Amino acid sequence: MKVSTREQAWQEVSKIFPTDYEKDEAESAKAGYDIYRHPTLNYYNRICDLGNRLEVLTGQYGNTVTNIWIEEPKKSVEDRILEELALIRKELQAIRSKEFTKNFKCERVDGKVRKVPT
């Protein structure tokens, strides 16, 4: 199964694994990735968060495996360029703001802070 966001992946998990679950801290530490289980039901049923997919194991011995792959849609070249330009514009605005404020000092007049040229 493929979805495009983590949120969608967890929604799919709730359809397959319709009970409450919580993170198994001890097993997660051993495995190096997050493992979720129901605290009292079948020990073999679990959800493994492997980053790019959620692996859902169900059945008497966890022998039914469903992988939910998370594949974010690829952005077009134009979209990536526009995002990069937006970041550059933001950086330039920050630089301009610093240059502007560098030539001024703040002083309090009548309880208000004002910028005054240095």
Q: What is the pLDDT of residues 17-48, one digit of tens each?
A: 878 899 999 999 999 999 999 988 888 999 99
Burial of 118 (0-12, 13-18, 19+ CB in 10 A): exposed
The closest of 52, 65, 70 to 8, measured between CA atoms, is 70
Average pLDDT of the chain, as a whole number: 87
* pLDDT of 112: 75
The closest of 63, 50, 66 to 16, measured between CA atoms, is 66
- Answer yes or no: is pLDDT of 104 > 70: no
pLDDT in tens, 78-97: 888 999 999 999 888 887 77
Reported as a pLDDT band with limits 50, 70 and 90, residue 52 is very high
Domain extent listing, the chain: 2-70, 77-117
| Model confidence, pTM | 0.61
> Tokens for 74?
């690829």
